[in-house]
Amino acid sequence: MSWPEPRPSILSIEAYTPGESKLEGANRIVKLSSNEGAFGPPPAAMQAFAAAAAQLHRYPDGDSTALREAIGARFGLDPARIVCGAGSDELLLHLIMAYGGEGTELVMSAHGFVMYDIAGRYAGCRVIKVPERNLTADVDALLAAVGPRTKLLCLANPNNPTGSLLPRAEVERLRAGLREDILLILDGAYAEYVTAEDYDAGAALVDAGSNTVMTRTFSKIFGLAGMRVGWAYMPARIADIIHRVRSPFNVNIAAQAAAVAALAEPGWVERSVAHNTEWRARLSARLEAAGVKVWPSHGNFILADFGTAARAGRADAALRARGIIVRGMTAYDLPHCLRITIGTAEECGMVADAIAAFMADAV
């Protein structure tokens, strides 16, 4: 017998494990495993989605024109250099496939977002994971890892799952230390949640050169993970490359309409940031009081550190017994941690109560 064989590098990929959403026997599930926004979809986005039903026989606008214009207006960016995708994952994949390849290297930090590793291997790159300091990307170590074959450096800022942030000056230092032919991908999936003042999601570096791309998403603060919409801001030359390889109708008609409406929802981002900032602090304080270390986070999630993998596993089981799903971190080489999304006030209270009870029993 013989069979078709994929390129060998593909067999080194472990399929992405999404946050779980079901528990056997639980009648109410509290899903805090995928960093989805705490408030559900914006009401205007639900209306736009429903209205799109009458147009489902039509192909969508392949250039996502109205959406790019709305994004450009909202964030003060040139719509011609915005490319939309079916989630930012799609754009990350195309960027890495287009600029990586056999014989090249992709550099990322040790606990960086797992999609860079998956897409890098798919492209045939050697993926280099660089040790962090205090669960924060280390610019000096990243630069030291760069070699003559390096083509890509991917950085989520803030990073998922650690929540850590590099200030603007550090990201600028990273870019300045990279050769001009290395593409720097700054993944701003959580940018809207950041309240730190010395932060830039990447647009300034995109504008300043020819070799930096910023990716963003509607899946987190805008509450549209199920619609699959992301976007990236990039130099015109790189946009031209991505338009050659992306699927011509990559963002469906309902997703484009819902995303435009989400941007127009009055006060949505402000309300979400205020809730997130307040409840991230409250939940962190309750876990710390219960004896669990919490890593400082700039995103809509926290990384709870139980010290050992065994204890994190028992905590996870105790949460599941109460219908609460959080994210195990073995795939990120942090098996002693659990990542917990900031949900509603009630959900934050439930997860805090459950962990406090677990810690009280666990001694």
Site for ligand PLP in 55-94 (CB under 6 A): 87-89
Residue among 330 and 362 whose Cβ is closer to ligand PLP: 330
Q: Residue 122: CB partners within 8 Å, gap ≥ 6?
A: 9, 10, 13, 93, 96, 97
The CB-of-236 to ligand PLP minimum distance in angstroms stands at: 23
Map tokens 């991230």 to a residue: 280
Size of the site for ligand PLP (CB under 6 A): 14
202 binds ligand PLP (CB under 6 A): no
Site for ligand PLP in 149-188 (CB under 6 A): 156, 160, 187
User: Beta-carbon neighbour count of residue 259 at 10 Å?
Assistant: 28
Q: Are 16 and 335 in contact (CB under 8 A)?
A: no
Which residue stretch of 16-24, 60-68, 217-225, 266-274 sits at the interface with ligand PLP (rule: CB under 6 A)? 217-225
113 binds ligand PLP (CB under 6 A): yes
Map tokens 């798919």 to a residue: 122
Applying CB under 6 A, among 33, 109, 217, 250 the residue interacting with ligand PLP is 217
Residue among 100 and 161 whose Cβ is closer to ligand PLP: 161
**Cα distances (Å, whole numbers) of residue 157 to 171, 189, 239, 358:** 9, 8, 22, 32
CA distance 27 to 29: 7
The CB-of-220 to ligand PLP minimum distance in angstroms stands at: 6
230 binds ligand PLP (CB under 6 A): yes
CA distance 91 to 217: 10
The CB-of-225 to ligand PLP minimum distance in angstroms stands at: 6
* Residue nearest ligand PLP (C-beta atom): 87
**Cα distances (Å, whole numbers) of residue 166 to 154, 234, 244:** 13, 20, 32
Q: Which helix (H) or strand (E) holds 141?
A: helix 139-145
Residue among 64 and 219 whose Cβ is closer to ligand PLP: 219
Site residues (CB under 6 A) for ligand PLP? 35, 87-89, 113, 156, 160, 187, 189, 217, 219-220, 225, 230
